[in-house]
Amino acid sequence: MRKYLRFYIDGEWLEPAEQRVAEVVNPATEQVCGRVAMGSAADVDSAVAAARAAFPGWSASTVPERLDLLRNIQAEYGKRAGDLGAALTEEMGAPTALANGFQVNLAAGHLAKAVEVLEKFPFSEQRGATLVVREPIGVCGLITPWNWPMNQIAVKVFPALATGCTMVLKPSENAPFTGQIFAEILAAAGVPAGVFNLVHGDGPGVGVPLSRHPGVDLVSFTGSVRAGVEVAKNAAPTVKRVTQELGGKSPNIVLDDETFAANVATGVTSMMVNSGQTCSALSRMLVPRARMAEAVRVAREAAGQVTVGDPLGDAAVGPVVSAVQYDKIQALIQKGIDEGATLVAGGTGRPEGLTKGCYVRPTVFADVTNDMTIAREEIFGPVLTILGYDSIDDAVEIANDTEYGLAGNVAGADLEQARAVARRIRAGWVSINDAFDFGCPFGGYRKSGNGREWGEFGFDDYLETKGILGYDDAAA
């Protein structure tokens, strides 16, 4: 039983202002696995005050000093990687291979990229008689989700540190263990007091006062559209910068060529990773209508090979994060059935042989039309919808017919055609044949949010741009 009952504020582990504790439930066993202190506005005030006091010193630090700190964090992160993996399996049900692999390694990759970018980042440049200077924005409120906890902490904290900002982190109350261990890593690495602060809590208790706080200069939020709208409203009176990475209903356009069957199978299995709990998941597969029957056959076989079970075992897919999430997914699967989509694999209820735990059957629907609920709403579970298209123009129109715009993919052997289609998808992250790059800007169009994370693009939101005129000798 984990007990995390103090917050990391101003370089110390402090008791919360109020004694309020929440239980954390392991979704695989449905048993309580930990208790975490829940913060309040008073704790936010303390953390923001510490961050404000630390800002003058840290913002004046040199690039070599920041690089030294990031490299110290790399060393400490490596020491605790196993602890982070175990925590991920316990708090959100990630299978051990995924938790100790991609979940933990994503953050390590972002840290390495932050070091690489900082080594050559242009914080100032001369443009004629004007010096353009990029300075840290100030105190940052960072609010992160439960589905990829370490990734989302990493893409906020590391750019903030690298650019000279100070910060207050609020991890998800559904997955607080990794945030706690991360704070321990930063403390061991020697982060100066007040530069990084951690306050556990929920949205009303910590998220709202953090986003409203006049001492916070930027709020970076990752989560649902509903919560993102509230964050923006709460931040508006103080005119602080707000960056958001929200939901998605991303298209995967499978081209009509000799790689079709392999690409359909890949699309099914990749959708099920992390129990489908990925904001950029390619949840709408678009296939040529004339090959729908073939897609159904391939998808049924691929889904049938996805193993679901105890995350401590060798199953590919574990549970979803909570009973609330499980119930939401079940309702949407039933909605798909009710609206007339063809159920290819899976369906409602737990997978066969599992009598407890928040396990969802890997589910595939075919003959879906883009006006169906399962094609419009983000399900955030292992549920794939397959839609037919009549031409490339039709495929692009369907792909862009969404209120979201986070990600997309084009799968096919003809790279020239794939590139042309990718350019037409209205989304912030569009891959060709599932390509991956830590340096690619990540973020969305429309209701998928604003701002960009990852690589050098992740530095931008944490910086203000200043022009100093008359800077050259001739002007003087």
Strand pairing report for 463-468 and 130-136: antiparallel
Active site residues: 245, 279
Ordered DSSP codes for 68-98:
HHHHHHHHHHHHHHHHHHHHHHHHH---HHH
Ordered DSSP codes for 203-241:
IIIIIHHHHH-TT-SEEEEES-HHHHHHHHHHHGGGT-E
Q: Is 324 left (phi over 0), alpha (psi -120 to 50) or beta?
A: alpha
CA 434 to CA 440: how far, in whole Å?
13
List, edge to edge, every strand of the sheet that includes 363-368: 342-345, 363-368, 383-389, 284-288, 251-254, 407-411, 429-432
Q: Within 10 A of 356 (CB to CB), how many other CB atoms are there?
A: 11
CA 253 to CA 267: how far, in whole Å?
10
Residue 371: helix, strand or coil by DSSP? coil
- E strand map for 111-230: 124-127, 130-136, 139-143, 166-170, 196-198, 218-222
Give bridge partners of residue 108 from the DSSP assignment.
Answer: none
Tokens of 199: 């306050």
